[in-house]
Homo-oligomer: A and B are copies of this chain.
Amino acid sequence: MLDHSFYMDLILKEAWKNQLLTYPNPAVGALILDSKGAILSIGAHKKAGEPHAEVLAIKEAYKKITKDELIEELSSSELHEYLRKNHNNIFEGMSIYSTLEPCAHVGKTPSCASLISSLKFKRAIFGSFDKSCIAKGGGEILKEGGVESLKIESKGCEELLEPFIKWNQGSFVLYKLAQRLNGSIDGGYISSQDSLEYVHNIRDKVDLLVIGGDTVRVDRPTLDARLVGGRAPDVMIYSSRDDFDRDIPLFGVKNRDVFISNNRDDIKRYRFVMLEGGEGVFSSFCDLIDWNLFFISPNIKGGKSINIDINLCNIW
């Protein structure tokens, strides 16, 4: 039972909590197993600019073993050097699991792969290859550094990586809908606080948010990321008419661009796009959608359901 895939499932679960929120980085999870087989720590990359999953897991394991709380004070870029200087060989014989091949990317900090080999880990096990131009090749660095490097088969790790791959290929389009159990989408409040916050977190990251004209006319939404203190994304109102009341909050948010267009190809200029809307938006864009994100509220209430023959779209 406790094979590689057991540990991989644990970190996949952790990584998924930040799926889409690490843009433009991939969502990644990592785990440290000590030489006796005990799980010391689990880490997941949370946000671009913050430490990678491997570094977070290493930091937690370091704290657990050394009780050295000074490491909490360090910035992301200081962590690598601090660990290199102070590791005192505590990681010898240990294994590190990661959903993605540890990066070879040398930027503000040295790469995760070189950190892992400096810390004298025995093994690194990962579930997908990093094929991005700037970060690939970590497995080679590990081997050269004397770390056993093992890529295992993991469908879960490949799925986790999909948005990152699409971002690197040019664009990833997410359709988001909140509905009740019976499919109804009108008639008032649907989403839980948790799902609202997750959506606001995504809004804080996307390059473009697309909304239908009727939603703007009827609901007069603000479409910002206030619940998480995030930035309001640029908005495309998908409409052939420009009859919008410019006094609604949507148009009043600073540092955001709002434009009206009925040309769906306009979204292709953006790398990370979220569509928020009902049947009209879904039908118009369905062949461009990469992933569907449905929040399903566990209640039933009369009302109109979104009702499209999904077979018309080649996306499911």
Q: Do the beta carbons of B183 and A184 come within 8 Å of each other?
A: yes
Alpha-carbon distance between A34 and B37 when the two chains are bound, in angstroms? 9
Shortest A82–chain B CB gap in Å is 21
Q: How large is the interface on A (under 10, 10 to 19, 20 to 34, 35 or more residues)?
A: 20 to 34
Shortest A310–chain B CB gap in Å is 4
Task: Kindly list chain B residues whose C-beta atoms are within 8 Å of the C-beta of A41.
Answer: 1-2
Q: A38-B36, A39-B2, A294-B181 are in contact. Are A307 and B300 (CB under 8 A)?
A: yes
Q: Do the beta carbons of B302 and A309 come within 8 Å of each other?
A: yes
Question: Which parts of A258-316 form the interface with B (CB within 8 Å)?
Answer: 294, 296, 298-302, 305-311, 316
Mark each residue of chain A from 35 to 56: 1 if its CB lies under 8 Å from any CB of chain B, else 0.
0111111100000000000000
Name the residue among A41, A182, A298 with the largest chain B CB count within 10 angstroms. A182
In the complex, which of the residues B1, B298, B300, B310 contacts A306, with contact meaning CB atoms closer than 8 Å? Answer: B300
Alpha-carbon distance between A250 and B69 when the two chains are bound, in angstroms? 68
* A234 at interface, CB cutoff 8 A: no
Shortest A298–chain B CB gap in Å is 7
Alpha-carbon distance between A226 and B271 when the two chains are bound, in angstroms? 50
Shortest A58–chain B CB gap in Å is 14
* A60 at interface, CB cutoff 8 A: yes
Alpha-carbon distance between A302 and B311 when the two chains are bound, in angstroms? 11
Interface, chain A (partner B; CB < 8 A): 1-2, 34, 36-42, 60, 179-184, 294, 296, 298-302, 305-311, 316
Interchain residue pairs with CB less than 8 A apart (9):
A34-B36, A34-B37, A36-B37, A179-B181, A183-B305, A299-B310, A300-B309, A301-B309, A301-B310
